[in-house]
Amino acid sequence: MNCRCPILISALLLSSAAAARGAVTPDPAVLAAEAQRAAAISKASAATVAVFDSAGAGGGSAVLISPDGFAVTNFHVTSPCGAAMKCGLNDGKLYDAVIVGIDPVGDVALIQLLGRDDFPVAEIADSDAVRVGDWCFAAGNPFLLADDFTPTITYGLVSGVHRYQYPAGTLLEYTDCIQTDAAINPGNSGGPLFDAEGRLIGINGRGSFEKRGRVNVGVGYAISINQVMRFVPMLKSGRIVDHATLGATVSTEEGGVVVDDILETSDAFRRGLQYGDSIVRFADREITTANALKNVLGVYPSGWRAPLTYRREGQLFSTQVRLMGVHDESELIELVQHEAQQPSEPHPGGPKEEPQEKGPKLPTPGLDGLLKKQKLPAAIVGKYEARRGYANYWYNEQAQQRLWNGYVERSAVARIGYDWKLSGKVETGGAFELTTSPERAELTLPTGHSGAIFTGDLSGQLSPPRSGGLLLAINAWQRFVDKGLRRFGEIYYLGKLPHGPDNRVEDCLVGYFDGMETRFFFAENGDLSGLELFAADDADPCEISFSDFKEFAGRRLPGRWLIRHAEQPFAELVVETWDMDGVSTDAPLQDGAN
């Protein structure tokens, strides 16, 4: 007798018994998990974008992050598209979209879909909380399969975190990535990586592919959403944004990460970092290898400030450093021009894992020229302006005007003039008096009297000593209010950067006159919250942080000024009287509304 018969008979009897009792009910926990997963995918799919170039020959993916249509994708997806592209959502509708800003080093671009102000958006998660083994899913448009704009979903695990990928080609460097085995194929580029709850944790962009073809092998990389969201306010400036560097080269040696070389023009050098020092911590992360430092640096834009701890001869030193750009402006523009001319693939995906050889340098018409040749849809024309150094200058101009209008309306500073006389007390004791005019300024402090003349060469007018040019900074503020956006000198919107002793992240306008740079910072309520004057590119700025706003002579002005230079306090002034243009306030008034 066949030995399988008793087993088969038993199985049939059990099956018959089960049938007699009715269908087996699935475990409620399994059904609940399935329903939760389906709901998360449904929610996430609504914010996933299928991106197509205007010719319909290529494309990729993106994800919406705000109801007014701002969406994040890869630079290598938008680069072949130029200024305009078509974007589809799973509502079956196709929308016009325009380029806003680009981060070519980090392979990120910001676009804006047009036609609605109530777009579905992704819920943003904290990608630093992602752990190996977490469930995740990718959504996107692999191989441009989404003819009805419904994204393809692939499910998997987080296989690794804080991955570093060396630059591919001329620019793209993936730092601090999330690695996943959820299938990421050509066309998924720029699309979202979600956690199991449907929250956005990364932007897919790079994959490892089988060498004989563009076939996914289960290793994909997503740019962490924390990095992306730190760059988004910079990208809204319409600029070509660069990544940060310490201005130093390091190597992994026994005992730590050692500085091999450092630029004397870097802020890190001015803060004390020297050749042979060991970097212990940076931006609140422990640094154990050179790649670990590159990983952390890569999540910050040029100009950011971050804490640094280093060791020298067994002693630890901690400071704040202002990070410089990886490239100078002209170098970055040239590299972007080169990338913009590369032919797009019919089914684009991420760059190959292995670095590509850099081709010969070719004469180019420039990025602006390439974009001007593109015939823009009517919906795009009013939201695009080509200018060297910008992906779309129109957005920069809009931000400038928004900040200026908010400041002037809230503070009523029109026609404030140059003739000021302020008096009050110094927080550490004693009194101060400040007098200004269009040509000169004088400041009396308990420590002495100083002055500055605003005619001729201004680079030497850095009084008082050890302030970095306080009187010149006040004159720059007066000039900004008097001349406005168009006559101050060159002005542009930088984005959002940390400033002040508490590293508040706020909107920043940059202005140049007489070869000097002034940064004006604005709080969300429209107040001018601070300014920084750089007398030279390689010098520490004079930093003024404003608070305790009061009404002086009918204007909303700061009653407390904290002045810092070289990361050290110079003075804190409490303003009690502020006379201007013959209008006097002889006593401090009550605090104004915040």
Q: How many Cα atoms within 13 Å fall on the side-chain side of residue 125?
A: 20
Residue with tokens 């021009």: 337
Are 99 and 214 in contact by the 8 Å Cβ rule? The answer is no
Question: Which among 53, 96, 103, 107 is annotated as catalytic?
Answer: 107
SS3 state at 219: strand
Query: Annotated catalytic, 499?
Result: no
SS3 state at 402: helix
Q: What does the alpha-carbon distance between residue 285 and residue 274 come to, in Å, rounded to a whole number?
A: 20
Q: What does the alpha-carbon distance between residue 368 and residue 83 come to, in Å, rounded to a whole number?
A: 10
Query: Annotated catalytic, 96?
Result: no
Are 290 and 219 in contact by the 8 Å Cβ rule? The answer is no
270-498-283 Cα angle (round to 5): 65
Pairing mode of beta strands 108-113, 70-73: antiparallel
- Helix (H) or strand (E) run with residue 317 in it: strand 315-322
SS3 state at 207: strand
Pairing mode of beta strands 135-140, 440-445: unpaired
Long-range contacts, 454-463 (Cβ 8 Å, 24+): 458/514, 458/516, 459/515, 459/516, 459/535, 459/536, 462/535, 462/542
Write phi, then psi, for 574 (nearest 5 degrees): -110, 110
Amino acid at 180: T
Write phi, then psi, for 305 (nearest 5 degrees): -115, 140
Angle between helices 393-411 and 470-487 (to 10 degrees): 120
Question: Which among 45, 53, 61, 76 is annotated as catalytic?
Answer: 76
Question: Which among 127, 159, 189, 411 is annotated as catalytic?
Answer: 189
Identify each DSSP E strand in 75-151 by its residue range: 84-88, 94-103, 108-113, 123-124, 135-140
Q: Which residues contact 402 (CB under 8 A, 6 or more apart)?
A: none
Pairing mode of beta strands 192-195, 285-286: unpaired
What is each CA distance from 557 to 412, 475, 521, 550, 552, in whole angstroms? 9, 16, 14, 6, 6
Are 83 and 101 in contact by the 8 Å Cβ rule? The answer is no
Query: Annotated catalytic, 347?
Result: no
Residues labelled as active-site residues = 76, 107, 189
